[in-house]
Structure 1
């Protein structure tokens, strides 16, 4: 039995699965012990996926004894049940769309667990967080943390990089267009054409921009409004989201400075590929990725960078590492909950997974 802090990942979907592999791969380096994962449904078509996780060193737990029998029939061997194991771990990372429900139903009754983490869909689960963006806003009372969405990570990463010299308040305004993929490659669904998404979160437009403002508000508590807005669309692709930005600064910069600021952020990967399929394929085939996921917060398309003559307006386009760029935030939040004094040093272990270029 490995010694160290215990972590439980709830869910084995497009975020849970790579996170389980990331934790098991680097467990010793970051001082973790047992890595548990909770799989609710005993599906025959997912048995091999679950076996891969257990062979990597993760420990399967299930809902109850009745479900345990069904998993055993699939050749899968649970080590316990969710209600029991959850009480004994140090951190729970929920990777399902049920985080808020489980918080009210179960997580609030687990006082011995140091902290809980949920994903982008679970607004108001806890403090909104993105790795390297608002770490300084984390405080000891933050037992519940929400990892914001992949496009919110990308939006914040671009804003942070471009406003680097003067801080976020150097932003006069930011306008973003988000082309979301219709489904994941693992899903048998899609759409026929491009669909606009409604203006759902005034005054920011989309939930991604609203979430970005919520993150920034943790840093600037005296400011209620941030000058950003986004229009989201859904495109008939299963590969990657894409993203266009137009920023206006209060202090101008030239093209070389804009590029240099992006280069200084290790979470920005550069590419000369102009198509999402090329970027997707390169990541899939690279040893730097985890199950094909890019852990950088954005992949910037080099040839799209533009700066106006007065240096105030900067524009460009990016590919979104969906289901990948938020993984390091889940890891960082976990390590912070375990020990705020050592998590920054431990996060250096994951630098080897970051791309400079794709």
Structure 2
């Protein structure tokens, strides 16, 4: 039986805690090995990378950057494509746009020997949309090689629809309206903080913000066509999000 290797690309707000989580629960999850890609050798990130390595994760980077990492006391074990090639699953946690670039540059070359490639909510159209316990039945093993895990807000919105409206029938929802009040940035981030609340624009005439659009597309993988509309605003806080919703249903 082949070894189950999970490779995480990126060590930012999503990547770092995910790598640690996979390492800590490796045995429970049936994972043999965790590796991760770090793009740039920064002394400011050295303690973070050392911590991940001490928990069992194996460092990888581009071949030409090995010397830079060695110079700051970090020893990479695999080059970029070597790490992807030996992975069972690749999880891309890079900033917006990089997931698509990595897909074209690397991932599409390793479809034959990799179970799947997973990207985060910002990578729209990276692959089939997925939210845990919402559309698990829509995933086709061996066919859906590229998966986009929808954003936290889309998860929240979809869970409310699924558990409060669709539980009484797939045609029970007449319409859903949502207002997402979002934090300015994450506690680990030092940029993009706003000094006062900012109201987002309705970029989509049918759905409002991308949250309802993504949720509607998520449910379309289950052949459901839902009437959803969302608005969003950002507040000057680092606390978690608030979601206000109004559901109109046939059967209360």
User: Which band: TM-score by shorter chain?
Assistant: over 0.9
**How far is 1:56 from its partner?**
0.7
Cα deviation digits, residues 136-189 of structure 1 (max 9, x gap)? 101131011000000000001111111253134211111100111111122223
| Long gaps (5+) in structure 2 | none
The farther-off stretch of 25-34 and 50-59 is: 25-34
TM-score by length of 1: 0.67
Runs of 4+ in 1 over 6 A off after TM superposition: none
Please give the secondary structure, in 2, of the residue aligned with 1:47: helix
Aligned residue in 2 for 1:103:
103
1:215 aligns with 2:213: no
In 2, Cα distance between the equivalents of 1:159 and 1:148?
15
Cα deviation digits, residues 318-345 of structure 1 (max 9, x gap)? xxxxxxxxxxxxxxxxxxxxxxxxxxxx
Match of 1:159 among 161, 164, 170: 161
TM-score by length of 2: 0.94
User: Are the equivalent residues in 2 in contact too, given 1:127–1:145 (CA < 8 A)?
Assistant: yes
In 1, Cα distance between the equivalents of 2:73 and 2:212?
45
Aligned residue in 1 for 2:207:
204
User: Are the equivalent residues in 1 in contact too, given 2:158–2:215 (CA < 8 A)?
Assistant: yes
Aligned residue in 2 for 1:44:
43
Matches within 5 A, 1:123-272: 123-140=124-141, 141-163=143-165, 165-189=167-191, 190-220=193-223, 223=224, 225-252=225-252
In 2, Cα distance between the equivalents of 1:95 and 1:24?
16
In 2, Cα distance between the equivalents of 1:45 and 1:236?
26
Please give the secondary structure, in 2, of the residue aligned with 1:86: helix
In 2, Cα distance between the equivalents of 1:164 and 1:198?
28
How many residues are treated as equivalent by the alignment?
Answer: 246
Aligned residue in 2 for 1:21:
20
After superposition, the CA RMSD in angstroms is: 1.4
**How far is 1:105 from its partner?**
1.5
In 2, Cα distance between the equivalents of 1:30 and 1:69?
34
Aligned residue in 1 for 2:6:
7
